[in-house]
Structure 1
Amino acid sequence: MKIKFQIQTPTSKPALTLAHLISERAEKTCFDEVLISAAYVTISGIRLLMNGFSNSMPSSSKWLIGLDDYITQPGAIDTAMAIPGAEVKVVSYAELGLRFHPKVYILRKKSKPKQTLTILGSSNLTSQALSKNGEANAIIDAENQEDLLTTQELWDALWKQGHSPTKQELTAYKIKYEAQNARKPKAVVVKQKPKPKPGMIILSSDDAELDPTLANVCWIECGYITAMGREIELKAEQGLFFGLNPTGEKPRIFDFIVSSGNKTQLRLKFQANHMWRLQLTNEVPEVALGLRPRLRDGTLGRSPYVAVFERTDKKSLFRLRFIDLSSMEFKKLTQKSGQLGTLGKTAARQYGWC
């Protein structure tokens, strides 16, 4: 085996983080299978890891998730279970007064098994551990068949410690998780936070308790929307709500039910500024009337509306509504998103999902 050591500190440059290392290797090898064992898992940790496979998403994955200490987010388990081709097991040694604590990442390509990458160390599957905390990991490359067998034996020994969770077990865990975290003091607010990656604001921290792919509602203030009020830019991470890659992909067309009750097709296109741009038409009644007010000097002012997207029972069909910034509904949306840790604030607009 070829072994290197990776050290990460709070002052490490992005290129020296574990998240960047995984992304860099994934770009070169195009791994098609991921095996993960972690004591603590967050939604943001899963998303940061998966973003590293933007060029080629693994078709198969296994997730062994620890439940001890009630740190793993219930939403993270839901997120892992919703990934296509994923198999999820959970494990806890709390009844023995002990903890499940391994952190192992195995990335491999079935057609080129000798390019298997194994990471063993201190990094849990959280955004902080993958990109900000002080961590140390061994980066191990397989060199021969014996190395591959050793790696498989390692994973088999870990995997058999877990079990497939039942709905009752997950419900009970969620109740205890919420009770445990309700007693925790609020985190100290840091005045100068590290600048998040382009387009990733909510999911750059481990506070989000709901993944966009599992949310029922996604919203964003229209603000000074582009193209004379005919386009709305959504944050990259909001693309996940529509099943889009937050790091970009080809434009996609979706069906939307608008306020008139009619169904119309609208295009979402990824922009160079790491945002998804929704191109609107006059078939959207609010667009035909004007989403931005015309000021006395003839220019367009800031829109008083919030775009609200809602899921339907069809995968590519969404409802699109516009509500007033001063409405009680918008106040409730921001409150609910805030409670879930899914409220994003940029210099110009608020957005979120719930």
Structure 2
Amino acid sequence: MSTGIFIQQGQNSTTTLSELGRVRGLVEATESLSLFAYATQSGLAAFDLEFGSEFWEGTTTRWLFGIDYGRTQPQAIRALCEKPNAAVRVHDGSWVVNQAGFLPRRDFHPKTSFLMRPDQGKIGVVAGSGNFSSNGLRQSVEAGTSTVIDPNAGDANIAEEGLNVANEFWDAATPAELILDVYEDRWKRSFARSEHEPAEDDGIPGPKDIFWIETGYVTRNRGLGRPGNQIDLPRGMSRYFGMNPPEDLPLNSTIGPINFMTPTNGPVERNLRLGNNSMEKITLPIPETHGFDIYDGKVLVFRRSGGSFILNALEAADFEATFGDRLSVVMSMGSGRRYGHID
């Protein structure tokens, strides 16, 4: 048996993701069972960047999440359900999904993965403080431990009790597909104060000091192995930035420059453009070099500071906790991504 302790300090250190990959390789895992308190789109995007399609095609995976307090993004569960060889369940899901505020009877809070090669009796375990979000898996300061069991040394019983309990929780959990539609509908309604899809003459007010937009899935415009940084904005969102492009602006034209203040490596200037799809388009600062890790599934918050805009990329739950009581009108794009301003 080998056991190690790691402290995650960002992508250039040992991370929960890198330990999952290392242990998986040592065990030559063909199966996995992972238990996390919550899941986000950013977590799945970070996981995909680390492991790729080969993992899903060669590994039978089971995922057990909580939806306590609505911290889990339903889009993350839906995307995981669509992965090859993956099964997803929700702890006490049939109860929690019907409670106001998704209050649990008992908090579900593990962050543990079992990686297994059953035909050889090999088991690896990675457990720590990081949840299934990009921050928890590779960006935030987290701590954890990893263990690889040597079946030839008679160590299998060390992980057996924990794995048995994890399987009991799995057996008692609700298949995600049974509650996902209800959860997604209630999750969206709990977030929005007055969501609507703006009419042609509704317009976006502007300029505003604080405004935001959900990113959803971000296309891998920088290559399959790197997080994307280009997103579409609804037509007219440029008004929030203080711009007022003409209605007859040709497609694929520059609307104007935006100066972003980022957590690391100073200010970055990017052009806001009108894309060929008639939507406004922005290429954001490169995430891994400007302190953002990944944009997928995050809520981008733009805060005016003089002639620049401070850019933050928040998980949905963190955005709700920080700005939820200050949201003004919440608007929705045709894709379902939401946006608006904050008073």
Structure-2 separation of matches of 1:32 and 1:332: 44
- Asked if the contact 2:29–2:117 (Cα under 8 Å) also holds between the matched residues in 1, the reply is yes
2:157 counterpart residue number: 146
1:226 counterpart residue number: none
Partner secondary structure for residue 128 of structure 1: helix
How far 1:157 sits from its partner (Å)?
2.6
What amino acid maps onto 1:36 in structure 2?
Answer: S
1:159 counterpart residue number: 170
Structure-2 separation of matches of 1:55 and 1:327: 30
1:87 counterpart residue number: 87
How far 1:87 sits from its partner (Å)?
1.0
Residue 331 (structure 1) aligned to one of 279, 283, 288:
279
How far 1:76 sits from its partner (Å)?
0.5
What amino acid maps onto 2:184 in structure 1?
Answer: K
What amino acid maps onto 2:120 in structure 1?
Answer: K
Pick closer, same or farther for the CA change 1:330–1:27 going to 2, 3 Å. Answer: farther
Structure-2 separation of matches of 1:108 and 1:65: 19
How far 1:79 sits from its partner (Å)?
1.0
Say whether 1:39 aligns with 2:73.
no
1:101 counterpart residue number: 109
TM (normalized to structure 1)? 0.51
Identity of aligned residues (%): 20
- Asked if the contact 2:68–2:108 (Cα under 8 Å) also holds between the matched residues in 1, the reply is yes
What amino acid maps onto 1:141 in structure 2?
Answer: V
Say whether 1:235 aligns with 2:222.
yes
- Asked if the contact 1:14–1:20 (Cα under 8 Å) also holds between the matched residues in 2, the reply is no
- Asked if the contact 1:71–1:177 (Cα under 8 Å) also holds between the matched residues in 2, the reply is no
2:23 counterpart residue number: 25
Pick closer, same or farther for the CA change 1:49–1:166 going to 2, 3 Å. Answer: closer
Partner secondary structure for residue 149 of structure 1: helix
Partner secondary structure for residue 5 of structure 2: strand
1:124 counterpart residue number: 131
- Asked if the contact 1:7–1:137 (Cα under 8 Å) also holds between the matched residues in 2, the reply is yes
Structure-2 separation of matches of 1:55 and 1:341: 23
Task: Show CA shifts across 1:26-78 (max 9, x none).
Answer: 34554221211111101221232243334841430001111111111111111
Task: Show CA shifts across 1:115-170 (max 9, x none).
Answer: x2112222111100011222222212223232353343132132134111345x22
Pick closer, same or farther for the CA change 1:342–1:111 going to 2, 3 Å. Answer: farther
Pick closer, same or farther for the CA change 1:22–1:59 going to 2, 3 Å. Answer: closer
Q: How does 1:208-223 map to 2 (within 5 A)?
A: 208-209=215-216, 211=217
What amino acid maps onto 2:75 in structure 1?
Answer: G
Pick closer, same or farther for the CA change 1:55–1:69 going to 2, 3 Å. Answer: closer
Partner secondary structure for residue 51 of structure 2: coil
1:295 counterpart residue number: none
Structure-1 separation of matches of 2:297 and 2:145: 34
Pick closer, same or farther for the CA change 1:341–1:16 going to 2, 3 Å. Answer: closer
What amino acid maps onto 1:14 in structure 2?
Answer: N
Pick closer, same or farther for the CA change 1:26–1:43 going to 2, 3 Å. Answer: same
Task: Show CA shifts across 1:180-227 (max 9, x none).
Answer: 3346xxxx99xxxxxxxxxxxxxxxxx653x47xxxxx6xxxxxxxxx
Pick closer, same or farther for the CA change 1:96–1:38 going to 2, 3 Å. Answer: closer
- Asked if the contact 2:11–2:138 (Cα under 8 Å) also holds between the matched residues in 1, the reply is no
Residue 183 (structure 2) aligned to one of 173, 184, 194:
173
Work out the number of aligned pairs and report it. Answer: 218
Pick closer, same or farther for the CA change 1:174–1:152 going to 2, 3 Å. Answer: same
Task: Show CA shifts across 1:66-114 (max 9, x none).
Answer: 1111111111111110011111111245555432112111112234332
Q: How does 1:227-306 map to 2 (within 5 A)?
A: 234-236=221-223, 246-247=224-225, 304=252
Structure-2 separation of matches of 1:328 and 1:234: 16
What amino acid maps onto 2:129 in structure 1?
Answer: S
Structure-1 separation of matches of 2:22 and 2:134: 17
How far 1:175 sits from its partner (Å)?
2.5
Instruction: For structure 1, list consecutive stretches of 5 or more residues without a partner in the other structure.
Output: 190-206, 213-217, 219-232, 237-245, 248-272, 276-302, 306-324, 344-352
- Asked if the contact 1:36–1:64 (Cα under 8 Å) also holds between the matched residues in 2, the reply is yes
Instruction: For structure 2, list consecutive stretches of 5 or more residues without a partner in the other structure.
Output: 97-101, 194-209, 229-250, 254-272, 283-294, 301-333, 336-343
Say whether 1:78 aligns with 2:98.
no
- Asked if the contact 2:16–2:138 (Cα under 8 Å) also holds between the matched residues in 1, the reply is yes
TM (normalized to structure 2)? 0.53
Pick closer, same or farther for the CA change 1:111–1:96 going to 2, 3 Å. Answer: closer
Q: How does 1:198-213 map to 2 (within 5 A)?
A: 208-209=215-216, 211=217
- Asked if the contact 2:20–2:126 (Cα under 8 Å) also holds between the matched residues in 1, the reply is no
Partner secondary structure for residue 174 of structure 2: coil
Partner secondary structure for residue 100 of structure 1: coil
